[in-house]
Chains A and B, each alone.
Chain A
Amino acid sequence: MKKICGLTIDEAIHDRLLKVEPSKKDRDYDQVLYKVSIRNLDGWFGTKQVLKNINLDIKSNVATAIIGPSGCGKTTLIRCLNRMHEMTPGATAKGRVMIDDIDIYDKAIDPVIIKRRVGMVFQKPNPFPTMSIYDNVAAGLKLNGIKDKRLINDIVEESLKDAALWDEVKNELDKPGMGLSGGQQQRLCIARALAMQPEVLLMDEPTSALDPIASSKIEELVHELKKELTIINVTHNMTQAARVSDFTAFMYLGELIEYGPTDQIFKNPQKELTERYISGKFG
């Protein structure tokens, strides 16, 4: 059975994931080998090209770190994976990004629906300021039209448990989300993303605003979460990349320089540029 973002083609059309005519649904999709495949992806801010011909294949249920100096396009790259990049005025992207076997840049695809399947956690914790802890986690479901209260309750509890926050907040679910500490807020944001049941979770330097203890909690989480989903983690912190990721991609000036198993990238990089960056000679 061909699947798109975990749905059969019929379900996808029913969910308005695909706007194609039913007659076209039997398109011959290649067999899925990778969860995410990026092909010839270029990205621009106005006339400035920030991504240059990126090609990258990411396997299912692994954690991939994207490292590189500031301004190298790491964040832009992951923002292209849920079509968030183009929401910045003037930003454009061209190329193919396959998630399972669907090209999310296909004209038939509604970008809003892609975001429900590809979760995102941001650099700074950004819980919804007017909402309680409960509502922060439930917001994605409620605002996407899910009304079944018992289902929502179950998912909120499950997501908070998966984000390792449940024990800390289970007695104060109606307190404001903004009242939590920075590390707790970031885990709340992870729970909020998990509530949408994504298959890919994009993390944009999720620990850069956190202290070491809060950071290590998020790192432990990545280990747990990748059993369920595919994680792509942008980071400045190379020891973190080495600790949490199975694969590492090194980017420099908008280009993907080297990509491979984390061990290989850190112990035996093939490119001189990677070696110099890893050993702290620049960046």
Chain B
Amino acid sequence: MIWIVKNLWLIPALPLLAAGIIAVNKQPARKLAAGLAIGSMALGFLLSLCAFAATLGHHGEGAFRETFSFNWIQFGGQWMSIGWVLDPLTAIMLVMVTFVGMLIFIFSVGYMAHDKNFMRFFNFLALFASGMLGVVIANNLFLLFVSWEIVGLTSYLLIGFWYHKPSAAAAAKKAFVTTRIGDLGLLLGMVWLYAQTGTLNFYDHGHGCMEASALAGMVSKTICGGMMISTAIGLLIFLGAVGKSGQVPLHVWLPDAMEGPTPVSALIHAATMVAAGVFLVARVYPLMAAGAAPVEHGVPVTTALTIVTWVGAVTAIFAATIAVAQNDIKRILAYSTVSQLGYMMMGLGVGGVAVGMFHLITHAFFKALLFLGSGSVIHGCHEEQDVRKMGGLKKYMPVTFVVYAIGMLALAGFPLFFSGFWSKDEILHHASHWSVSHVPFYLGCTGALFTAFYMTRQMGLVFFGKYRGYEESSHSAHAHSSSESHSHEPHESPAVMTVPLIILAGFAILLGVIGTPAWPWFDAYLNGELAELQIKFSNLAASAGLMGASALIVLTGITVGWMLYGKRQRKTAAEKDVLEAAQPAIYKLLENKYFIDELYEATVIRFNAFAAWLCDFADKWIFGGAVLLVKYLTVGASWLYRLTDENVVNGGFDAGCGSIRGGGGILSRLHSGRVQTYLRIIGVALVALIIFLIWGRKA
């Protein structure tokens, strides 16, 4: 066993240690906090590179996979063992999380520089990194679940980081409660899986629950309706992923989560945590794919994977349409994240682990780039998030403009030069070959069109035209001197913020190289094969048609977006949106996110509120009544006791004490204090004694 496998635990342990040290330090130690958090991530990144290097070059005999497990808790006669696994899936995620995390940590130093809770922020970030890395390395559904919940907790803490804002506090609660619904499914799936296989280890030299013998056992049994147990468990676990990755219908929390600081949105709600759901599905992919009819080449088709595909496809198109009508720069990106996560799920369903994961990795880089870019924009525009009040920032923030444009093109899937194009194309390619239905493919294509459109809209509104930010202030205060109004202008962010952006931009372009159809290194790496550079005409011809089509779709989206929002700029911030003017009803529907929140408000939440009211009523009057009854009984009994005590028991004692005191009073009269009386008594007594002695002797 290689040393790195044994010491893989160090990677999540380092940020945990950093979080602990930050937590026990006093508030002013800002440099220490940032240094510890970034340092632990940098060290973790180096270790991840070692782990990554260890998994390279193992082709032919299947994917590299080494595990390390130990017994942790004993219950009954069984041991719960936990451990970690190093395989290509883990390695690639480790490198991505530590690297993106490190860059975002560095960015946060600049972004949070003025926040007085700087230390708390880095404490939570480091704790989050620890949990996320724990999810990644876990070789055990239990350890994964524990880390998963740590991640959920830090997500809650960081969304509500500015908890004095009511909207942030509400968003934090919403995120926590919504993901809990999914986690319940995950927990049930976990328990069921344990009941079926007696282990939660994924890989354990043939005994793990993701290995052939356990899977065969679960496939052979069915529950009602002929559904295989493996499918049922897989779907329960998928429910956890739906909650975490913001898939329909549990997507509602993710856009609201943008109330948190922007680096948090970038790290947790775009690049890593929300991808954990996709990662989870990739991790339990053998379970999802178990029991599929044997296929010669291509991907297995099972009920579980079909449902994953449909959920993903619906989410992809659903969120992409909502993003068109949003005006908050971060919300647009949030819906875009939901949509892209849908693509990943769809990729997992139609194309297997490599397809979904490839999009996850490329998306992590360019979405982190976009979010940090939006953070830079917000920072530069003095905490303004409404795109209608921006505009013309190209002039003021050139670096941010360039990197943001790269991120936007990558997300939109601009042909050939950007990573997003290759990863999205791979998903669409597999979707077009999916044997069950072609609808997800069309949904995906439409989603791609919308993606290109809303990203162009955002670019046009934010970076082109004229700056609309100081309309109101200049209206209200014309008398202000020019120097003062100059300070209201947006400004470029400091180097600590732009350098991570530039690095991320580089990766947003370069990462596409590892997954092109000509050289599918990523696919081969995950499957343990040797990637060959295969520039064969037949290969290219097979994918060229689709590539051309998707390129056409993207270009259409960008062109339409540019026509509507780039060339024809809105004059004022209050002006109606172009689409709103053309189709007010549809725009309103999209702007209000299909009224999903209102729907939930009217159904689930109202029901919940009713149940809560019922419980409250029962608590107050039925259980509370019983408690009150007991209370009054007790009070009555104690009143009775007091009466007895005071009148019977105490009365007896008082009488006894009174008589003794009276006796003492009588006796105390003998002690008059008159010395001569004493002497007299002594004399009389002496005489009496002598007389008694004399006469007594005679008698």
Same assembly:
no
